[in-house]
Structure 1
């Protein structure tokens, strides 16, 4: 059975604006369900005019999605995949991983936040310049049984339904999660006290509302009113 790789991921990625909105919503859900150690985060204005969405599962796997005026740069790292740079004594990227990365986004693999001991640890890379009509990746090739992490790292951002996030949340937080509340936030519906309470009855609504405002998520019940 062939594993899904970056080449299969590319056509599944939503348009940049939809991807950004989904990343914000996922970060808000994590802030409600696990405010002290969220797996998914979103940092508006991480750099001047640049937003950053991240996932870190605490087990050595991660992804980052950079929303730059010049375009979007996305990478993931699956430490157990065939494409891990650690497969060789001197770390090396999978052949073709970064080939074709445009100059406007080429600085991101050199970003210190994306490096481990001075090396860009990545097994999946995708990009899309502003004005382009397609997501693109390097000319990587894999054997049928090889993997790069694309088959699971980005489930929650490519699944346009709530299913992938619900699977993640129920497994990670080890409890049932209200599907209607998850669907409402993923759809961008204005946040309400009821929605938040359905997800986490004990969370501080004022803190959640503040986080929602920072993410640009609309509020129906604003504690400042």
Structure 2
């Protein structure tokens, strides 16, 4: 199937934000050492901007920016680049001017880009610069699979038994309390992750999404 079939499955911007916050929050709990986490989220990236990212430690990654203009995501699939001649100009063609600052951000390693998709605020649907197959968007499967996808992935990656009901609570944005935290990682106290909760912008009794 073509890329439009995949990106047509992607949820609304607000749901993407919730999913990526949940993944980052769970990673922060399950893996306290930041350098070993896949998912991260910074709700205070810049004025009116929030940033989500994924790094697998092997080179594959994506960066996403939520702003008043909408949501744009660029990703890099190392295997795809090795198998195809990737022209970055083709990948980012048609990106609206409203996202130009994203394309110019050095931290997002734009010279390593195999896909770029975006959803403009107040408009329906998603767009892409280059037509790719579903497999080439594998890094974004969490946006389609949600809690179920994260649950299966985390059990494999972290080699743990994980109650999917706990994962679903986090994906539903249930505030983290000591009880929920202890069920996810009994080596942590709430005070240990207060910084992550604030950075992610995850809801807490003292915080809002």
TM > 0.5 fold call: yes
Task: Label 1:147 to 1:183 Cα distance change in 2 as closer, same or farther (>3 A).
Answer: closer
Displaced runs of 4 or more, over 4 A: 85-88
Which region of structure 1 is more displaced relative to structure 2, 123-132 or 28-37?
123-132
Following the alignment from structure 2 to structure 1, what is the Cα–Cα distance between the partners of residues 48 and 60? 27
Deviation at 1:170, TM superposition (A): 0.9
1:110-189 correspondence runs (5 A): 110-115=104-109, 120-140=111-131, 149-150=136-137, 152-160=138-146, 162-189=147-174
1:1-225 correspondence runs (5 A): 6-36=3-33, 37-81=36-80, 84=81, 87-88=84-85, 92-93=87-88, 96-115=90-109, 120-140=111-131, 149-150=136-137, 152-160=138-146, 162-219=147-204
Q: Secondary structure at the match of 1:80?
A: helix
What's the Cα RMSD here? Answer: 2.2
Task: Determine if contact 1:124/1:148 at 8 Å carries over to the other structure.
Answer: no
Q: How many residues align?
A: 204
Task: Determine if contact 1:51/1:66 at 8 Å carries over to the other structure.
Answer: yes
Following the alignment from structure 1 to structure 2, what is the Cα–Cα distance between the partners of residues 186 and 92? 36
> Unpaired runs of 5+ in structure 2?
none
Deviation at 1:147, TM superposition (A): 6.9
Q: Secondary structure at the match of 1:105?
A: helix
More helix by share: 2
Deviation at 1:85, TM superposition (A): 7.5
Could you say which structure has the larger radius of gyration? 1
TM (normalized to structure 2)? 0.87
TM (normalized to structure 1)? 0.81
> Unpaired runs of 5+ in structure 1?
none
